[in-house]
Structure 1
Amino acid sequence: MRRKLVLASNNAGKMRELQALISMLGFEIVPQGALGIPEVEETGASFVENALIKAYHAARHSGLPAIADDSGLEVNALGGAPGVYSARYAGPSASDDENIDKLLAALDGIEPGRRGARFRCVMALVRDADDADPIIAEGCWEGRIGQTRRGGGGFGYDPVFIVPETGLSAAELSPADKNRLSHRGQAASILADRLRDLLSN
């Protein structure tokens, strides 16, 4: 029987990507919403702190191992903003389009060579709510911010994040290519290696 992992998110895009990346290890990933687990306020000052807050919260409510990620966009010309506030850059209930609109307005007039940015992702896995040694994995995806939206895939800031290796936006990549290159794919790969080590012992 496949072992269950609770995903401390109700984000459908994250669910799809993590399911593809982690399920090959024999885990069934269940979104916390399917178990009636409410979202927790992200009060951490870093991606690591927020990922752990969410993972421990989901484990406490479910009694199951939990995985959480906290990720965001860091833009050089904005001093690393929006950073940990990426999902709520334009306000607590902001949509992806509203966040992108605010980002493009903040970068208005800044030439392409100064629009460097990166997606950063920290993933945390806790075995239970008292886990004193959580598994932490981090990924970083360098790129730049385009001047207009491109592509219909992905989610979040993907339509304006230009990938240097391809010249495409993250929203123009196939799901397989995005998983191979992305910050979340990198972190999930590291996490999967750690899980393999645990399962083989």
Structure 2
Amino acid sequence: MQSEEVLDGIKKINKLVLASTNPNKIKEFVDIFSKNTIDIIPQSKFGINATNEKHITFIENAIEKARHISRLTNLPTIAEDSGLCVDALNNYPGIFSARYALLDKPNSRISNNNLLIRNLNNIDNRKAYYVSVIVFLNNPDDPTPLISEGRLYGEIVDEPSGNNGFGYDPHFYLPKFGKTIASMTMKEKNLISHRSIAVGKLINKIMHA
């Protein structure tokens, strides 16, 4: 159990370093956390480049990124690993979502989406979900990181729709809303996204740790 001193420090936090260099992801985090009067500082502000993601689970990748950035900045840090899991593809692309078409390096959204649709050719089951795993570290040696997870369920459609969002959003269809995520405004997306769900859970853990 964390000490009262550590908990007091967590509850007084008004700024966090975000272990990410993805401009789209940074925009979403800034928007979501702004509702809780917490400023998000991307790691690029400290001149830190992207961290390699070498693990096979979202949690391990997020923890490593958070520890790395917190150690370099000596500040409270959050890190996320997220991806798209498709039922019929044995939950692929999963942790490889950003580099699906070329698994050894980041690839373009168009190539990733084209490969996804090709791999689902003639498959009826299009169920999928986005997952976001977020880790909070109060300091680089924090022995009890706070971890939260959010999921957004939908299905993959062949024809892309919408010009907003990023990643697989043009093909990720939400039956409840009758449109893809890419057809939503950022405000609409951030009310229901896997990322906003995970952030909400994390903030609740921080405040009630």
TM range (shorter): over 0.9
1:12 is aligned, of 20, 23, 29, to 23
Measured on the aligned residues, the alpha-carbon RMSD in Å equals 1.5
Letter in 1 for 2:112: N
**Is the 8 Å Cα contact of residues 68 and 125 (structure 1) preserved in structure 2?**
yes
CA distance in 1, matches of 2:37, 2:196: 18
CA distance in 2, matches of 1:153, 1:33: 24
Give the equivalent residue in structure 2 for 1:102. Answer: 115
1:121 aligns with 2:121: no
CA distance in 1, matches of 2:13, 2:195: 23
Unaligned runs of 5+ in 1: none
SS of aligned partner of 2:112:
helix
Letter in 2 for 1:101: N
**Offset at 1:24?**
3.0
**Offset at 1:71?**
0.5
70 and 181 in structure 1: CA distance in 2 versus 1, 3 angstrom threshold: same
**Is the 8 Å Cα contact of residues 59 and 129 (structure 1) preserved in structure 2?**
yes
Runs of 4+ in structure 1 deviating by more than 6 angstroms, as ranges, are none
**Is the 8 Å Cα contact of residues 37 and 62 (structure 1) preserved in structure 2?**
no
Letter in 1 for 2:192: L
Give the equivalent residue in structure 2 for 1:156. Answer: 167
**Offset at 1:88?**
0.8
CA distance in 1, matches of 2:139, 2:152: 30
Give the equivalent residue in structure 2 for 1:47. Answer: 58
1:99-120 per-position Cα deviation (integer Å, ceiling 9, x unaligned): 1011011111223xx1110101
**Is the 8 Å Cα contact of residues 2 and 28 (structure 1) preserved in structure 2?**
no
**Is the 8 Å Cα contact of residues 146 and 205 (structure 2) preserved in structure 1?**
yes
**Offset at 1:25?**
2.8
SS of aligned partner of 2:35:
helix
CA distance in 1, matches of 2:51, 2:186: 28
SS of aligned partner of 1:136:
strand
CA distance in 2, matches of 1:52, 1:2: 19
Calculate the TM-score normalised by the size of structure 1.
Answer: 0.93
Letter in 2 for 1:40: T
Calculate the TM-score normalised by the size of structure 2.
Answer: 0.89
2 and 52 in structure 1: CA distance in 2 versus 1, 3 angstrom threshold: closer
Percent pairwise identity: 39
CA distance in 1, matches of 2:106, 2:96: 12
**Offset at 1:26?**
2.9
**Offset at 1:192?**
1.6
SS of aligned partner of 1:38:
coil
CA distance in 1, matches of 2:206, 2:113: 35
Unaligned runs of 5+ in 2: 1-11
CA distance in 2, matches of 1:28, 1:184: 17
